[in-house]
Structure 1
Amino acid sequence: MKSRHLHPEPAREIALSGLKAVMSSGTALDEWLEKNEPYHQLEPRDRRFCRRLLASSLRHHGQAMQALRHYIPRPPKGRQQMATYVLLLALTELIWLDGKSHAVVDQSVRLIRSVGLEHLHGLINASLRRCVKDIDANADIITTWRHDHAANFPDWISSQLIADWGKEKANDIMAASLMPPPLDLTMAASEPGTTDIWAEKLGGYALPQGSVRLNEGAPYRLDGYADGKWWVQDAAATLPVQMMGDIRGKHVIDACAAPGGKTAQLIAGGAYVTAVDLSAGRLERLRENLNRLNMSADVITANILSWSPDQLVDAVLIDAPCSATGTIRRNPDKLVHAKPSDIAMLGNLQTDMISHAATWLKPGGILVFATCSLFRAEGEDIAARIAEDTDLIPDPIDPQIYDGFAPVAGNDAHMLRLFPDALITPDNAITTADNENTMTHGNDGFFMARFHRK
């Protein structure tokens, strides 16, 4: 049977549809995958491949476009735009995922035929074979593309990173942001040895701050998921709660609480928790997560700018809405969706939230502010403004809390800035993002600050 009569692999067809949806219509990657029934019908191995190919093609879309324009100076567009998406998938798989050249070329030709562009199959075939030849020859152009991490970032993001941190560190941040994320788990039990036991049981390894790290995996298929022994949470995301210190028996408000990882941490730490969020849908997910973990909290749907508790509380955690640039590795669609106008608006919102939440605290009560942003405007600048404009007093962070991380030097003792390469792990000798099969896993980028009320 001739190859033109063969269908492409379903996982690749779904990846192609997803890439088009995310890049052309502003759809979020995870939202699209969650609603795509054919994706969920794939075998687990094919589902993992589909998501990896799709996410990697978004992470490396700028670099892959450089390669595409090299081999095809006038890329297909208009009614032939699907050919560009086929090429982006293929070039990403060849250059960054070590894809088997014969399979990638063959499947790409099948894909182009499946979308009614058979007349372009020769162009696709020839351009990809040229790329394979360059890879096999270790051509300088391949190395150049692999090193140009900034090509994937909108100019406004790369420019702001350079302005905030300098060109060299900005490039390191962008490289780390392209790393595919691992699966970090937070343990529900805090007894000594729990992390090591579950690390061995799940085939992962224990991180210094208490998480278990796995390279990958479907959480709901892992031992302990149904029994509520752990929940999924990036290692860096656990630190804001740890910064609060001993919360046993204290009343803590978790503002912007959904989907509930930090809420669960607070409950596991012995606090009585009021979880507040504006989104009823996201709070429903929080309730589901707490039910699985056999935990409970007072859950309230409200805008925290217009809501206040009946009584003053011991502590407040605000993981505020932000640009989420620190989570690009988990949400690579942000590379094609984020807009610069968001930053000023979000900075004002963060300031207003903290100022209002400060009024909820008892004298001496603790407020921890956190964002998963890489920008000073959503971190250090906000913390400085709060110290000047409210009755919140900067409160030093215990350095033992961030053991295992390499924070940014130079900040005041009440601030903690973590870049996406801050986590020190057993494989941290590998520091480049030139090939997704040889990366460290890093952490989400975060800013955190601790205050107490006068």
Structure 2
Amino acid sequence: MPQEKRRPKRPARPKSESVDARPGLKARQVAARLLGAVIEGRTSLDGMTDPVGGHPHFRGLDSRDQALVKAILQAALRFRGSIEAEIAARIARPLPPNASALRHILHVGAAQILCLDVPDSAAVDLAVAMCAADPRTARFDKLANAVLRRIAREAERLPNEAADPRRDCPDWLWSRLEEQCGADRAARIATAHRRKAPIDLTVKSDAELWAERLGGRAIGPATVRLERVDGPVAELPGYEEGAWWVQDVAASLPARLLGDVNGRRVADLCAAPGGKTAELCAGGGIVTALDQSSSRMKRLKANLERLNLSAETLTASLKDYRPDEPFDAVLLDAPCSSTGTIRRHPDVAYTKDEAEIEKLAALQARMLRAAADLVAPGGRLVFANCSIDRAEGEDVVAAFLADRDDFVLDPVTPDELPGFAFAVTQEGFLRTTPEMLEGDLDPAGGLDGFFAARFRRR
């Protein structure tokens, strides 16, 4: 009998046509790559996802995929402990230490299943494709498929308010929170870290009017809070005419501690991106804005131009700055660990640690001494940062007062901050933490953690 004629084998498609060309795969690969950079390289997520100067693979995505990558990473970091627990519960043996690439793929897949409005099938299938496309993980594609399908069937979606908040708080951070705030308050702060932060706008005038126009609610005399924004913020009413700027309500408080700045010479140090500079300019101050980053100073100038506000802008280091005459008031919003902003920047919990906090506290002490030299006799100095750690706040203040007998503490009083009296401590400091302003688990509650102390030069 004649043999059956065999069909010629179809030549294998190039990898770029078979795997890498799958819709949505590139975005997930970028998400896994950036997650690894955060966890292993302790690299700032903001820097990597900047549309202009960010990671080249991220910049190579279209705007829709960039937004997806950001959403995946926010969820994967905000709920990292919970996601790890769900994965571990469905693997017979722990992943080996050198399986970091596989772990990142699993976290990216699980974050989509548990936190985002992405079809489970797409999240699973693309995670399997990611494994197959990477020689380091190709042999684990079946494991990834099984684990993620079980998570899709069995796990509760996140956030789970009943879950122990410590699960999603790294050990180093939890130990400091518990030591400084007590276990109950530490748990409330860790719970707040798992909630997405709202968008706050500082308005030039009439917060109630702008709250009505924008569909938000007024918080205090100059802030409008938006629970959600559909589309770019720049397309909201009032943006083009410079009626407001984006700024968490807590970040707007330190500038108010300088009091009435109308007609007074004011220095805003470490000024970029310019929210506090704008407040001081809007208050009538004759403002000098200083920042050592030329790229950040460009952003500050652009913001002031949009807001129709003007200030002298200088790109220079504080340690080298020597003005012709001292200032009536100086605001130093110093570089810090940013642990007060974990709601917005969950990578901070994994890129910072105790050693970094001590290093930054030492830098703040040096900068505070330099800032003090710029204050005229009788003038005010406000030291602030967005850390919730005492080492970067109260401890820096105590060391400064012990070192400089030409300055005295000028305590903040509750009546100076209408609506925020709860944030004034017994010592007269401003101290906000993320669980404040929370009511009935309001998803649009909370505020960033901030510290500020005010001094007067003798």
Q: TM-score, structure 1 length as denominator?
A: 0.85
SS in 2 for 1:147: coil
Aligned partner letter, 2:343: R
Q: Which of residues 342, 352, 355 is equivalent to 2:356? A: 342
Are 2:141 and 1:121 equivalent residues in the alignment? yes
SS in 2 for 1:448: strand
Number of the residue aligned with 1:133: 153
Number of the residue aligned with 2:209: 197
Larger Rg, first or second structure (1 or 2)? 2
Q: Which of residues 92, 102, 113 is equivalent to 2:111? A: 92
Number of the residue aligned with 1:451: 455
Change (3 A) 1:161 1:80: closer
Shift of 1:376: 0.8
Q: Which of residues 91, 95, 108 is equivalent to 2:127? A: 108
What is the CA deviation profile of residues 274-298 of structure 1, one whole-angstrom value per residue up to 9, with x for unaligned ones? 1112222222221222122222211
Q: Is this contact kept in 2: 1:406–1:422, CA < 8 A?
A: no
Size of the aligned set, in residue pairs, is 432
Change (3 A) 1:27 1:343: closer
Aligned partner letter, 1:267: C
Percent identity between the two aligned chains: 39
Rounded to whole Å, the distance in 2 between the matches of 1:230 and 1:76 is: 49
Aligned partner letter, 2:216: G
Rounded to whole Å, the distance in 1 between the matches of 2:173 and 2:433 is: 15
Change (3 A) 1:146 1:72: farther
Q: Which of residues 83, 88, 106 is equivalent to 1:64? A: 83
Instruction: Give the alignment of 1:401-412 within 5 angstroms.
Output: 401-405=416-420, 407=422, 411-412=426-427
SS in 1 for 2:322: coil
The runs of 5 or more residues in structure 1 that have no matched partner are 432-438
Aligned partner letter, 2:351: H
Between 341-350 and 116-125, report the one with greater CA deviation. 116-125
Aligned partner letter, 1:430: L
Rounded to whole Å, the distance in 1 between the matches of 2:339 and 2:239 is: 29
Rounded to whole Å, the distance in 2 between the matches of 1:40 and 1:60 is: 25
Change (3 A) 1:450 1:46: same
Number of the residue aligned with 2:276: 262
Q: Is this contact kept in 1: 2:336–2:386, CA < 8 A?
A: yes
Number of the residue aligned with 2:69: 50
Shift of 1:406: 6.8
The runs of 5 or more residues in structure 2 that have no matched partner are 1-17
Are 2:185 and 1:169 equivalent residues in the alignment? yes
Shift of 1:404: 3.6
Shift of 1:143: 9.4
SS in 1 for 2:381: strand
Instruction: Give the alignment of 1:266-345 within 5 angstroms.
Output: 266-345=280-359
Number of the residue aligned with 1:399: 414
Aligned partner letter, 1:339: D
Are 2:183 and 1:178 equivalent residues in the alignment? no
Shift of 1:351: 2.2
Are 2:441 and 1:430 equivalent residues in the alignment? yes
Q: Is this contact kept in 2: 1:253–1:273, CA < 8 A?
A: yes
SS in 2 for 1:71: coil
Shift of 1:165: 1.1
Shift of 1:118: 5.2
Return the structure number with greater relative CO, CA threshold 8 A, min gap 6. 1
Q: Is this contact kept in 2: 1:358–1:367, CA < 8 A?
A: yes
Aligned partner letter, 1:182: P
Shift of 1:105: 2.9
Aligned partner letter, 1:9: G
Rounded to whole Å, the distance in 2 between the matches of 1:302 and 1:103 is: 49
Number of the residue aligned with 2:10: none
